[in-house]
Amino acid sequence: MLRPGIKFCEHQKKYSLLEIDLLTGKKNQIRVHFSEKGFPVAGDKIYGEKDKGIKRLTLHAASLTILHPDTKEKMSFETTVPAYFKSLVNS
């Protein structure tokens, strides 16, 4: 069962594409937690398997909201999921 804030977007035999909502979290924190549960992030050479078929760490922030350090203005940024990630799920 998935925790609140985690949903499957796509799933195949070897890889799944997940959407994860975080209030806080650093790249390594996410990587460590998933690896400890037996589901390392694809391409993670530190906390995951040394799979030479993966070109890069497949961890991506599709959206990010921060407060500007000086003006305290809320700033939001969005982008699409890299095509490479979807190609792994669809392979």
Q: Where are the beta strands (DSSP E) in 12-79?
A: 16-20, 63-67, 74-78
> Each residue's pLDDT tens digit in the chain (91 positions)?
445 577 767 767 788 888 888 777 666 788 888 899 888 888 898 898 876 678 888 888 888 888 999 999 999 999 998 888 888 877 7
Token look-up 């790249």 returns 27
Domain 6-89: CATH superfamily, name plus number: Pseudouridine synthase (3.30.2350.10)
What is the pLDDT, as a whole number, of residue 64? 87
